[in-house]
Chain A
């Protein structure tokens, strides 16, 4: 940055506001630098990056557990581990993926980095609270790690009582971990809600809010409302285990099904906490790579809110065979179907946006398209489970495993990885190899569909889930699924190598590599410490997807734009007059 070079060296507690956030920071300890500067930072982007590193680590650990689980299922009986180890493995896989990876993945990691920039804000509303949320997450993760190192848990990630009350594995540290991480989730939610309400740049009306911000808003509301229920439930379970208070265990006079109600009262909304942010990312990707205003902006935005509300009313669909009355089952089934509508609305609008668009198939867009394909399968197979007659047969079989992986992996993870590709240049200032990206993409989607498509058939045919051993008639499909998981794992390995190579020697990214009209691309890449250069704080005169209103300078500061081949591009960020759209 030329400006930085001519400045006198910045004062310790007044870091140069034109310098990239990767170089300077403001922190709890004024003047902290290097590693300490990261660990004590108050900059939402740095906090986001720390989350990102944590969730990627969790994804790696959870992924290794998944591959081991699949390997064990290669043949009936013992393949590589005994039954108890297997039960620990699938539980740890589920717990790590849900609590350590997917819940914080898009909101806490990507949301932290991108949301304030998309709002044209300097930071989140409460930067100190934000840092604290991260440390609460880390503290909770330590409990989970402690449990794992000591032998883990074997209860399934659902911790159903009375098994979890009686299991002699390390249940208490694990649920305390989940309990503590819950607070992190609540505080992040509160912070985001306040930020979205209070920190929007002038001109950034609700109708100009990015759809990613809308999605995070809906998610935050759910986090704030639902997570306390989980906290109470886990606390009650701890009291039962530790002090023998009879709450859920019938031997102590408790009601085991009560636990399931409590648990799903949180965990069904949690399913939307996991998927809605992914949908938000996809909306951004479609907007940018179709280079067109999204069709049905308000419908997409409100469907996120709709999911957040209806999501609170359907928890009972997890208990159709647990012994609820036929009437209750009917009501929960009907409400469950309602959820299909906002999900469908989103899909229709995304596809409609592609109509008459100008579509570029760069890597992030590939992930968005895969998301649409796979999430549609995930959603439609949900109909089988909302239907009472078929749910009775399919409940707790591999059909359910396939269904939620299509939603969580085919949906959220695809959105997460797509978002990572999309915002990677913004975060690191580096480009990556598109070629490797495409190879990784093909491997992951092919492997994923091979792994989980087979599981629908397994489930329909009656293969129950959480099974260490199975009847020989299921072997062929299990083997195909396991082979799929290797391709999937290999695909992620390729992506990992790609990103590491980018970090080590990637080409520097231009300000706006994708030619996006969204606000976060209007500021230098990587962004300066307070997101926008001094004097260039944005005042919005158009929405985030108004390509017809965006100027050439705003859009075509990238490179590789097929519309302008051979155009001279600057590879270093310059603060352009158009930045901040303040003209």
Chain B
């Protein structure tokens, strides 16, 4: 804190102690933050300064007289009561900022958020779902309607200065209005198990036009933008790899043969897989599709600790992932 200005190694050119401010209420929060910061700095310097001064000035010397302190009741009362005033002021500005950030603007865009161990799924008003990536139009109030499928998570976007727990069994909301185009992150800030720190999502704040276009087209293979043209396998696989990361498959499936909560995908294609039910199956297109859409249908032997969530991604995306799985040797 005190050293805040000495350390500024951030490659993102953040100014001072707070991250870049990208939403409407954020500047107010920063204002409050710096107000208490300087208030605290002042007190810290006064208290420490006096302490060192006294220690230096009244260091024990021969012949010191041992006196009783004079009656300081007045000063005592002063420094008991005076802070009350500061406190009232501090409380007031803090509460104002909080309420400001808790009230949604008119006609907000509602986005459904589902937290699962360990990914964020976003559903837009048109039904489109995406995992690990959140598109936000700039200059429009947004309301996140959030729920959790398993344990408590917490939705945190530092750049917007918003945070709210995502609690199973209830809905919670976060509202904000982005005022700057750019990128940010969603972090999970309620500890939720193994990959808590991997429960991230990319936030893209884009102009309204770009947002609307994106909503219409849905996610498409950036390597083959035309959905009707043929797409070479390696281009599909490339997109598949991106999806694999974006959808947080990486948090459960290693690609180098190391142990992970789900089976490793090193050499998964065509593998003869023993199932929990005692049967066995060869990994092919249909099995992959089923594993993604209905993971509980066939459980790989020995993987009963972690539960793979069902993914509702499009067929084209599944194709791309399948194409990618073939390439992990």
Q: Is B50 an interface residue (CB 8 A)?
A: yes
Partner pick for A163 among B55, B165, B192, CB 8 A cutoff: B192
Q: Is A473 an interface residue (CB 8 A)?
A: yes
- 0/1 string, A535-577, CB within 8 A of B gives 1: 0000000000011101000000000001111000000000000
Q: How far is the CB of B170 from chain A (nearest CB, A)?
A: 7
Given contacts A162-B151, A383-B40, contact A546 B68 (CB under 8 A): yes
CB of A322 within 8 A of CB of B167, answer: yes
Given contacts A156-B191, A291-B60, A355-B58, contact A348 B197 (CB under 8 A): no
B63-98 contacts to A (CB < 8 Å): 63-64, 66-69, 72, 75-76, 79-80, 83-84, 87, 90-91, 93-98
Which residues on A sit within 8 Å (CB–CB) of B90?
Answer: 337, 383, 386-387
CA distance A160 to B148 in the complex (A): 15
CB of B193 within 8 A of CB of A369, answer: no
CA distance A340 to B89 in the complex (A): 14
Given contacts A457-B1, A473-B10, contact A562 B168 (CB under 8 A): no
At the interface with chain A, which of B130-138, B152-160, B274-282? B152-160
CB of A321 within 8 A of CB of B163, answer: yes
CB of B59 within 8 A of CB of A361, answer: yes
Partner pick for B154 among A167, A390, A396, CB 8 A cutoff: A396
CB of A326 within 8 A of CB of B69, answer: no
CB of A326 within 8 A of CB of B99, answer: yes
CB of B151 within 8 A of CB of A462, answer: no
- 0/1 string, B21-39, CB within 8 A of A gives 1: 0000000110011001101
Q: Is A470 an interface residue (CB 8 A)?
A: yes
Residue of B nearest to A462 (CB): B158
Q: How far is the CB of B36 from chain A (nearest CB, A)?
A: 5
Q: Is B14 an interface residue (CB 8 A)?
A: yes
Q: Is B18 an interface residue (CB 8 A)?
A: yes
Partner pick for B152 among A256, A380, A466, A467, CB 8 A cutoff: A256
For A323, A377, A381, which residue has the most chain B Cβ atoms within 10 angstroms?
A: A323
CB of B305 within 8 A of CB of A360, answer: no
Q: How far is the CB of B5 from chain A (nearest CB, A)?
A: 10
At the interface with chain A, which of B182-190, B222-230, B289-297, B312-320? B182-190
Which residues on B sit within 8 Å (CB–CB) of A476?
Answer: 7, 9
Q: Is B48 an interface residue (CB 8 A)?
A: yes
Which residues on B sit within 8 Å (CB–CB) of A388?
Answer: 94-95, 97-98
Partner pick for A377 among B44, B58, B64, CB 8 A cutoff: B44
Q: Is A31 an interface residue (CB 8 A)?
A: no
Q: Is B195 an interface residue (CB 8 A)?
A: yes
Q: How far is the CB of B66 from chain A (nearest CB, A)?
A: 4
CB of B158 within 8 A of CB of A461, answer: yes
CB of B64 within 8 A of CB of A563, answer: yes
CB of B94 within 8 A of CB of A387, answer: yes
Residue of B nearest to A479 (CB): B9
CB of B168 within 8 A of CB of A330, answer: no
CA distance A341 to B87 in the complex (A): 9
Q: How far is the CB of A345 from chain B (nearest CB, A)?
A: 6
Which residues on A sit within 8 Å (CB–CB) of B221?
Answer: none
Which residues on B sit within 8 Å (CB–CB) of A83?
Answer: 194-195, 197-198
CB of B55 within 8 A of CB of A457, answer: no
Which residues on B sit within 8 Å (CB–CB) of A462?
Answer: 19, 156, 158-159, 185, 187
Q: Is A138 an interface residue (CB 8 A)?
A: no
CB of B91 within 8 A of CB of A334, answer: yes
Which residues on B sit within 8 Å (CB–CB) of A523?
Answer: none
Given contacts A388-B94, A389-B94, contact A250 B168 (CB under 8 A): yes
Residue of A nearest to B75 (CB): A352
CB of B152 within 8 A of CB of A376, answer: no
Q: How far is the CB of B179 from chain A (nearest CB, A)?
A: 17
Q: Is A11 an interface residue (CB 8 A)?
A: no
Which residues on B sit within 8 Å (CB–CB) of A262?
Answer: none
Partner pick for B67 among A257, A292, A359, A386, CB 8 A cutoff: A292
- 0/1 string, A27-55, CB within 8 A of B gives 1: 00000000000000000000000000000
Q: How far is the CB of A94 from chain B (nearest CB, A)?
A: 11
Given contacts A154-B193, A341-B83, A461-B10, contact A354 B305 (CB under 8 A): no
Residue of A nearest to B42 (CB): A380
Q: Is B4 an interface residue (CB 8 A)?
A: yes
Which residues on B sit within 8 Å (CB–CB) of A333?
Answer: 91, 94-95
CA distance A551 to B71 in the complex (A): 23
At the interface with chain B, which of A110-118, A185-193, A293-301, A438-446? A293-301
Q: Is A583 an interface residue (CB 8 A)?
A: no
Q: Is B302 an interface residue (CB 8 A)?
A: no
Partner pick for A321 among B154, B187, B195, CB 8 A cutoff: B154
CA distance A400 to B232 in the complex (A): 51
Partner pick for A392 among B47, B48, B98, B188, CB 8 A cutoff: B98
Q: Which 5 pairs from chain A and chain B are nearest by CB?
A: A250-B169, A389-B97, A462-B158, A387-B94, A388-B98
For this complex, 6 residue pairs linking A to B, each with C-beta atoms less than 8 Å apart, are A154-B193, A330-B95, A354-B50, A372-B48, A456-B4, A473-B11
A residues lining the B interface (CB < 8 Å): 83-84, 87, 154-156, 160, 162-163, 166-168, 250-251, 255-257, 290-293, 295-296, 299, 321-323, 326, 329-330, 333-334, 337-338, 340-341, 344-345, 347-349, 351-361, 369, 372-373, 376-377, 380-381, 383-384, 386-393, 395-397, 402, 453-454, 456-457, 460-462, 464-473, 476-477, 480, 546-548, 550, 562-565
